[in-house]
Amino acid sequence: MTVSEATHPVRLGFLPEAQAIDDPDHPGLRRAGPRAAAPYGDDRVEFHRCPAVDLLRSDPGDLDLLGAGFDSVDLSGLEVLQQTCAAVLDAGRITDAQAAAIRASLDGAVLPAAHGPDLRVLHIADEGLIMRTGGPNGRSLVGPRSTGMNGHGQAVSIHVDQDVFGTPLEQVMDGRAPSLFAHESPDGANRDSTLLLVNLWIPLRQQVQPLVLADGRSVDRRRHQLRYGLPTGTFLERDEDQLVNDIYTLLHDTGQRWYFRSDMDHRSAWVFNTLSTPHGAGVLPGEDVAEQCFVALESLEEAVLAADEETLGAALSGVAGATLPADTPPALRSAVGEMFRLLDLVASDGPSEAWVEASRVARGRVVRSSLEMRMVVTVDPGRTA
């Protein structure tokens, strides 16, 4: 399949141009203004349908960590990690013991990369291992506040996770981070180091809300990558002088190139440069229909348990005539097809306990669950893809 055939219009959120202001601390650059939204809130966000290549179906082959800013790695050989991830997915939350098991599995590991050199894990950060959960079409499935590692929603808008020149790296590393870590920033770069601060993004299940990443070589960082101060007091325990995390938001530009995978689980993971790589959750074609089916099935399950005939009819009428767009990725098309089948089944044969269980499983296919953590890696000279 060609790249053009595997390209989909994925909805991504960006900082609106109106929210950009001159940066008084960095002459010649701009930053996000005081009214700009955080990456995890959907107010004051500008959405664009961006052409994005599904790397599950077409792979250009030059998207490695040192060049593009991201790569995928094979985790299938880490048996304890695989068992732990399966248990976390089944429970819908992660425990301290499971987090410790995942960290132990990765500590010192060599991660086989899809495109560039393998990566050796040198250090895993004590903070930042969290579980994110989101429903189709950006539907929130978590409460207004997270609890430790759990209860985190997906990122609504594109962002870069850390400013190499800012808090907390400035304090933690006494200003040495820019000279130690490879990075591409609006006002500096380090292209010589093979030491990287990265995020490891492990999808427990992902057929909706995929992580979408920009090829850093396509981003005009001085014009479109803007500093933003992210308060962290609600989800991280930090010293007073490190409560505001210096990150970046992104303005949209048609020259930016975007990539994703339409179907992933914990056998593989994304690794991306924490200091440089724009990323966020995307909305795929067909997710609006998946959300309609999700809501209908959830209402039907509740109605079956309550023997509520009126709600049964209303839920079925809510998805009458719904059809998927032609450019819906195959995995999502299959998942929605199963939900359609169950809706047809309950309409013709009536509900049953077995139907309720099958409906719950089908809805689970369109819930995105992922784990993410931060680590220091180095390029392993032993193998290059």
In this structure, what is the dihedral angle of CA atoms 211, 277, 146, 95, given to the nearest 10 degrees? Answer: 80
Q: What is the DSSP letter of 253?
A: -
C-alpha distance across the termini of the chain, in Å: 21
Distance CA 44, CA 36 (A): 7
Q: What is the 3-state secondary structure (H, E, C) of 111-143?
A: ECECCCEEEEEEEECCCCCEEEEECHHHCCCCC
Q: Mean pLDDT of residues grouped by 10 in the chain (385 residues)? A: 89 96 94 82 86 94 94 98 98 97 97 95 93 96 89 94 94 94 97 97 98 98 94 53 81 98 98 98 98 93 74 70 93 97 86 90 98 94 53
What does the block give as tokens for 82? Answer: 């695989």
> How long is the chain?
385
Q: Whole-model pTM?
A: 0.93
Angle (deg, nearest 10), helices 330-349 and 309-317: 140
Distance CA 81, CA 106 (A): 8
| 12 DSSP β-pair partners | 48
Which pLDDT score is estimated for 31?
95
CA distances from 24 to 2, 20, 30 (A): 46, 12, 8
If one counts every other C-beta atom within 10 angstroms of the C-beta of residue 309, the result is 9
At a CB cut-off of 8 Å and minimum separation 6, what does 326 contact?
A: none
For the chain, the domains span 7-285+366-384
Distance CA 112, CA 102 (A): 17
Q: Reduced to 3 states, what is the DSSP secondary structure of residue 150?
A: strand
In this structure, what is the dihedral angle of CA atoms 211, 215, 221, 225, given to the nearest 10 degrees? Answer: -10
Q: Do strands 46-54 and 7-14 pair parallel, antiparallel, or not at all (unpaired)?
A: antiparallel
Alpha helix segments (H runs only) across the chain: 79-91, 96-106, 169-172, 177-180, 221-224, 287-306, 309-317, 330-349, 353-364
Which pLDDT score is estimated for 234?
45
* 168 prior amide bond cis, ω within 30: yes
What does the block give as tokens for 377? Answer: 């890696």
Q: Are 282 and 212 in contact (CB under 8 A)?
A: yes
At a CB cut-off of 8 Å and minimum separation 6, what does 25 contact?
A: none
User: Where do we find the tokens 């050989």?
Assistant: 77
Which pLDDT score is estimated for 243?
61
What does the block give as tokens for 191? Answer: 């292209």
Distance CA 368, CA 105 (A): 23
Which pLDDT score is estimated for 260?
98
Q: Are 281 and 212 in contact (CB under 8 A)?
A: yes
Angle (deg, nearest 10), helices 309-317 and 287-306: 170
Angle (deg, nearest 10), helices 353-364 and 330-349: 160
Q: Reduced to 3 states, what is the DSSP secondary structure of residue 252?
A: coil
Nearest to 40 by CA among 186, 204, 151: 151
At a CB cut-off of 8 Å and minimum separation 6, what does 138 contact?
A: 42, 154, 156, 209, 281, 283, 287
Q: Are 150 and 241 in contact (CB under 8 A)?
A: no
